[in-house]
Amino acid sequence: MQPGEQETFEKLLRPHMERLYRLAYRLTGSKAEAEDLFQDVLVKAFARLDELVGIDHHASWLSRVLYNHFVDNHRRYARQRLVMVSESELPQQAIDRLPGDGTPQAAGERLDDITRLDQALATLSDEHRLIVLMHDVEGYKLEEIHEVTGVPLGTVKSRLHRARARLREILAADGTFDGR
């Protein structure tokens, strides 16, 4: 390790680590697998520090590396599946950020809505679920999703549209979403 490499690495990656870990968690669906995937990507990124320094959009590059590593592992082991976060694994801070008046009743209603949304998302194909999670949950731009997944931009837009339409249909049927 050269002097200053660790500081450079930390400076480049620190702003992207939380988002990168969340993507790993969304892809794997388990804390242990997400941590393994996240760590593997950090090791790969450190080994390619010279390349990383020359890149303008670190978030997209890192997300792409993480996604590709996940896909490689998925193909290799055929044991991982894209899943939603279970209610028990949902961080309290995520629940706290949801709308509501802070009463136990409102918190219960929020958890019910989250559970119904998780169930609806689970019915989507992996491709559609990934696009919705990356765009609507994690805030990736369509162009970033295209860069990360390698899926053509038009296909990303189409999948997002179809996934949202299917979610509206499912959630309207169970009364969670009123169509507005």
- Residue 48 covered by a domain: yes
- Residue 89 covered by a domain: no
Place of tokens 């400076």: 11
Instruction: Outline where 16-132 has alpha helix (H).
Output: 17-28, 31-47, 49-53, 58-77, 92-96, 104-122, 126-132
Mark whether 69 and 122 lie in a shared domain: no
Euclidean distance between CA atoms 22 and 81, whole angstroms: 16
Residue 108: predicted pLDDT: 72
Mark whether 113 and 164 lie in a shared domain: yes
Domain count, the chain: 2
Domain that holds residue 42: 5-77
Mark whether 73 and 128 lie in a shared domain: no
- Residue 17 covered by a domain: yes
> Final residue of a domain: which of 60, 77, 94?
77
Among 80-84, 119-123, 142-146, which is the least confidently predicted range?
80-84
| pLDDT, tens only, 145-171 | 998 899 999 999 999 999 999 999 988
Side chain identity at residue 173, one-letter code: A
> Final residue of a domain: which of 59, 77, 95?
77
Among 28-32, 40-44, 87-91, 132-136, which is the least confidently predicted range?
87-91
CATH number at residue 158: 1.10.10.10
Residue among 20, 23, 26, 29 nearest 62 (CA): 20
* In contact, 9 and 43? CB cutoff 8 Å: no
Mark whether 53 and 113 lie in a shared domain: no
Residue 109 has pLDDT above 70, yes or no: yes
Cα-based distances in Å from 118 to 1, 137, 175:
44, 12, 15
- Residue 132 covered by a domain: yes
| pLDDT, tens only, 34-86 | 999 999 999 988 888 888 888 888 888 888 889 888 888 776 665 434 455 55
What's the pLDDT band for 90 if we cut at 50, 70, 90? Answer: low
Residue 89 has pLDDT above 70, yes or no: no
Retrieve residue 29's tokens: 């669906």
Cα-based distances in Å from 83 to 14, 60, 68:
26, 22, 17
CATH number at residue 14: 1.10.1740
Give pTM, 2 decimals.
0.61
- Residue 120 covered by a domain: yes
What are 145-153's contacts with CB under 8 Å, separation 24+? 147/60, 147/63, 147/64, 148/60, 148/63, 148/64, 148/67, 149/67, 151/127
Euclidean distance between CA atoms 21 and 70, whole angstroms: 12
Give, to the nearest 10 degrees, the angle between helix 31-47 and helix 58-77: 120
